Structure 1
Amino acid sequence: MASNRTVPPHLDAVDATAWPGVARPPRGPCTGLRARVAEMSFARACSSAGLEVGEGEGADLTVERAELFPRLAVSGWVGLAESYMAAEWATPSTQSLVDAIVALISAGYRPRATPRWSLSSCEHARPSGDIPPDLVQHYAGDGTSSFAGHFATGVATSERVKFRSHTPGAGRRGEPAAYFVDVTNYSDPVGPERGDLGDAQRRSAEMLLDACGAGPGTHLIEYPSSGGTLAVLAAHRRGTVDSLTTDPAMARSLAEHLVYEGVDDAVRVELGGSHGGRVGSYDAVVAAEKLETLSDKSKEAYLRSIGRLVRPGGRVALQTIVQTPSYTKAADAAVDSLRAYVWPALSYCAVEDIGQIVDRATPLRMVACTHAPGHLAESLRLQRELFDAHLREAAADGYDPVYRRLWRWQFAVREALARMGMLDVVQITFTARRRAGSR
């Protein structure tokens, strides 16, 4: 008797409601032909990348199920991620996974794909880009933060760099055509270990607070909250802190953390995406790794909001992940998998692009910028290793095997891009422009 089965047995355990793209491999007319073409293309890419595809010792990558190839044919890098999440192919370790992604991107692997995801294609891809606090705890060095750290062994070198102004009227009627930015580059960290990550993340937070001059009496807003470390450290400096979040789970977790740290009287947690009518209310605005999760249009709206929040003479300090000139189309194709399942609007822009938006759309001006690409790569490596070490705990918190493989995948993609010098972690400081464009 012919079987009417449409779902391969290895996908029986996958929740089709939570993971529709993983649970249902592509089917339909011409899928078989396209899959064979995709298989040949993948084989060529692996050969060009120097990857050994096979079984047993010495193999860099093992294909367990042929469903990989129709996924590649239809969805490209998104299909490669979905197939990994379905355990249809594997590498010996997550370090090997990073190595394989580096090799494929270096080889320019960029299969044609028809994007078939939307903001509602997966319940886990939150439009806000927020990561559940009970997931963050399984890889955060400080227990609450998902942002990159700055390790103590990085050596700083600084210079003043001239930036072209994109302020309306620049170069005319007393408005300067250019301005100077204090640029600091940090050398790669030396031998960081897992136990160093928490200290490095706290150092990132302290650097942001230093940049915006946070101290006794400073009225500061964290917009949005990044888990609690920034708010706690600002409170320890005897500042008054508002921390905004759109995620109820984040608000509850943050409130509990503030009580535990004994600073709940100095920090106000607000649930909601709006800063209300508090124009010019704050001495300082800080944020960690929010900007890159926004679309280009939303970036401008977000930076406008920040520009309205800070008072004249106040400062803004943001940590964000940016692309470097090495960033390629193959890299962006790989990032499509993160847009499909983690951050729907993920968009890495260059520092210069951020400066242009700020010049054109806000009353702010960039005055300082740090670069620490090696610290980003090491932070992601240590976060990946910590998560690998806490897989059982993540499972106990309700994260199913597909989610756990997704989280290993997203670490691997971002670590690969950072290791290749395509992504950089920067901290940018802004201040309000004075009349005639001076700062």
Structure 2
Amino acid sequence: MTTTHPRSATHHDTRLRRVATGVDPERWPDVAAVPRASWPVRAVTESLVGRALRRLPLRVSCVGGTTLGLGGPLIEVRDPDAFHARIGTRGLIGFGESYMAGEWDAPDLVGALTVLAAHAADLVPAPLQRLRGLWAPRQPDAQRNTPDGSRNNISRHYDLSNDLFAAFLDETLTYSSAVFRGFPADWSLLAAAQHRKIDRLLDLAEVGEGTRMLEIGTGWGELALRAAARGAHVTSLTLSEEQRALALERVREAGYAHRVSVELCDYRAARGTYDAVVSVEMIEAVGAEFWPVYFRTLDERLAPGGRVALQAITMPHQRMLAARDTHTWIQKYIFPGGLIPSTEAIEETAHDHTGLVVAARDGFGAHYADTLRLWRQRFTDRADDVAALGFDATFRRMWTFYLAYSEAGFRAGYLDVQQYLFIKEDPAR
């Protein structure tokens, strides 16, 4: 198959310095093109990057013999000119694009990225942080999560190929954090750990015989199947045509077509009331602008006395505020329109816009780090299978960076994942 990727508005052929080796310029214009950086920009970037790296427990080796850092995981900068040009002109997006282009590498990529994630708040000097609005790229209007925008954003990730996701997920096809009994986990334990996570959510929502349950974000159907096995009647919503097709196939094969409906439907268009609403790692795709709408939907669709079980990736509140209006590498290449909330943002939004009350919250970020480790190892082991699907070497480096980058965030404590229980009190009681 052929994959397509967005062309950046910052891509101008007249400003190209040279072309990265082995990168398809049609598929990856901003990776293939090494941007032209003026001498002042390059000099300032080298100074700032060097200053940041010297203080970190890393070893950063550049062609020419320069080594920076206090010791630790190794980063090998193979093309310092391109590396600094990309960071100087595109910031952290350029850092990721430089990896995609092969201009730097790390034998222990997760270890190196974990150090950077742990120091994310102070990598950029405070004066520049305060001026972030002037130098950081803004999120494109085209990635706003309007009903039409959400469909396009979701499609760009989840409609890449069901076979791609099957190459690195376990047989449950569950694309969210598992819950393990202990660490380190191995691949043979992942499916059971995914079921443990799902069962905890269904228990929180008190899903059982006869429960009317709404699921916002179908995935490939495993949660809906386990709810149906408990006797629930499930309406599941997705915007991914690929996911819906496979989820429906799995529902039919399991014999639950009479209990599970999978609809190609935006959450804002949902109707009816339900005893339980379950949504797993969906809020990250909603966007801050629409968080109030999302929570009002949860509230409006929930019957009095009902329960909402929500699983959400979270980040520190101040970092979320800093990132809220800027365009990131993850948004450009992996999850367009996405934004990870903070626990404060989740709880304040629910409090300010709904009658939902937080009844429980449990964080388990270490479990996500191990989940991502297993996915990343599986993806690496099956690189040839991914290539056979039509995904080129640049895509595979991009996906490896995404999985490693995410794992590092959880290992550093920069990211966490929560299971929330919200309740809606019954005024008749």
Matched, 1:24 2:50: no
Matched, 1:403 2:412: no
2:24 pairs, out of 14, 36, 40, with 14
User: Where do residues 175-186 of structure 1 align in structure 2 (5 Å cutoff)?
Assistant: none
Matched, 1:433 2:425: yes
1:115 pairs, out of 128, 137, 158, with 137
Cα deviation for residue 106 of structure 1 reads 7.2
Cα deviation for residue 413 of structure 1 reads 2.1
Given residue 187 of structure 2, which amino acid in structure 1 is its aligned partner? R
What residue is the counterpart of 2:101 in the other structure?
Answer: 86
SS of residue matched to 1:235: helix
Matched, 1:131 2:158: yes
What CA distance in whole angstroms lies between the structure 1 residues aligned with 2:364 and 2:141? 32
What CA distance in whole angstroms lies between the structure 1 residues aligned with 2:385 and 2:141? 28
2:44 pairs, out of 32, 37, 49, with 37
Conserved? CA contact 1:285–1:306, under 8 Å: yes
2:77 pairs, out of 45, 49, 63, with 63
User: Where do residues 146-161 of structure 1 align in structure 2 (5 Å cutoff)?
Assistant: 146-153=175-182
Given residue 195 of structure 1, which amino acid in structure 2 is its aligned partner? S
What residue is the counterpart of 1:206 in the other structure?
Answer: 199
Conserved? CA contact 1:327–1:422, under 8 Å: no
Question: Alpha carbon RMSD of aligned pairs, Å?
Answer: 3.3
SS of residue matched to 1:82: helix
Given residue 60 of structure 1, which amino acid in structure 2 is its aligned partner? L
TM-score by length of structure 2 reads 0.81
Q: Deviations over 1:387-414 (max 9, x none)?
A: 2222222212222222222222222222
Conserved? CA contact 2:359–2:423, under 8 Å: yes
What CA distance in whole angstroms lies between the structure 1 residues aligned with 2:344 and 2:321? 19
Cα deviation for residue 421 of structure 1 reads 1.5
SS of residue matched to 1:13: coil
SS of residue matched to 1:203: helix
Q: Deviations over 1:85-126 (max 9, x none)?
A: 1111111143344345346637624787441663659x9x95
Given residue 147 of structure 1, which amino acid in structure 2 is its aligned partner? S
What CA distance in whole angstroms lies between the structure 1 residues aligned with 2:83 and 2:319? 26
Conserved? CA contact 2:320–2:342, under 8 Å: no
Given residue 41 of structure 1, which amino acid in structure 2 is its aligned partner? L
| More displaced stretch, 303-312 vs 374-383 | 374-383
Conserved? CA contact 2:320–2:340, under 8 Å: no
Given residue 98 of structure 1, which amino acid in structure 2 is its aligned partner? L
What CA distance in whole angstroms lies between the structure 2 residues aligned with 1:72 and 1:141? 36
TM-score by length of structure 1 reads 0.79
Conserved? CA contact 1:142–1:199, under 8 Å: no
Given residue 45 of structure 2, which amino acid in structure 1 is its aligned partner? A
What CA distance in whole angstroms lies between the structure 2 residues aligned with 1:259 and 1:399? 30
Conserved? CA contact 2:118–2:414, under 8 Å: no
What residue is the counterpart of 1:51 in the other structure?
Answer: 58
Q: Deviations over 1:254-275 (max 9, x none)?
A: 1222233333332111112156
What residue is the counterpart of 2:4 in the other structure?
Answer: none
Conserved? CA contact 1:53–1:60, under 8 Å: yes
Cα deviation for residue 288 of structure 1 reads 0.7
2:248 pairs, out of 255, 260, 267, with 255
Given residue 131 of structure 1, which amino acid in structure 2 is its aligned partner? Y
Conserved? CA contact 2:317–2:344, under 8 Å: no
What CA distance in whole angstroms lies between the structure 2 residues aligned with 1:250 and 1:390? 21
Q: Residues 119, 325 of structure 1: CA spacing in aligned structure 2 closer, same or farther, 3 A cutoff?
A: closer
Conserved? CA contact 1:126–1:342, under 8 Å: no
Among the aligned pairs, what percent are the same residue?
29
Q: Residues 261, 39 of structure 1: CA spacing in aligned structure 2 closer, same or farther, 3 A cutoff?
A: farther
What CA distance in whole angstroms lies between the structure 2 residues aligned with 1:326 and 1:217? 43
What CA distance in whole angstroms lies between the structure 2 residues aligned with 1:217 and 1:329? 42
User: Where do residues 326-337 of structure 1 align in structure 2 (5 Å cutoff)?
Assistant: 336-337=328-329
1:318 pairs, out of 304, 310, 334, with 310
User: Where do residues 360-371 of structure 1 align in structure 2 (5 Å cutoff)?
Assistant: 360-371=352-363
What CA distance in whole angstroms lies between the structure 2 residues aligned with 1:13 and 1:416? 26
More helix by share: 2
Conserved? CA contact 1:139–1:387, under 8 Å: yes
Cα deviation for residue 326 of structure 1 reads 8.8
Given residue 211 of structure 2, which amino acid in structure 1 is its aligned partner? T
2:406 pairs, out of 414, 419, 425, with 414
Conserved? CA contact 1:119–1:127, under 8 Å: no
Cα deviation for residue 427 of structure 1 reads 0.8
Cα deviation for residue 345 of structure 1 reads 3.0
Q: Residues 355, 325 of structure 1: CA spacing in aligned structure 2 closer, same or farther, 3 A cutoff?
A: closer
What residue is the counterpart of 2:146 in the other structure?
Answer: none
Conserved? CA contact 1:97–1:412, under 8 Å: no
Cα deviation for residue 252 of structure 1 reads 1.1
What residue is the counterpart of 1:182 in the other structure?
Answer: none
* Alignment size in residue pairs: 393
Structure 1 gaps of 5+ residues are: 154-189
Conserved? CA contact 2:41–2:88, under 8 Å: yes
Conserved? CA contact 2:216–2:267, under 8 Å: no
What CA distance in whole angstroms lies between the structure 2 residues aligned with 1:97 and 1:401? 21
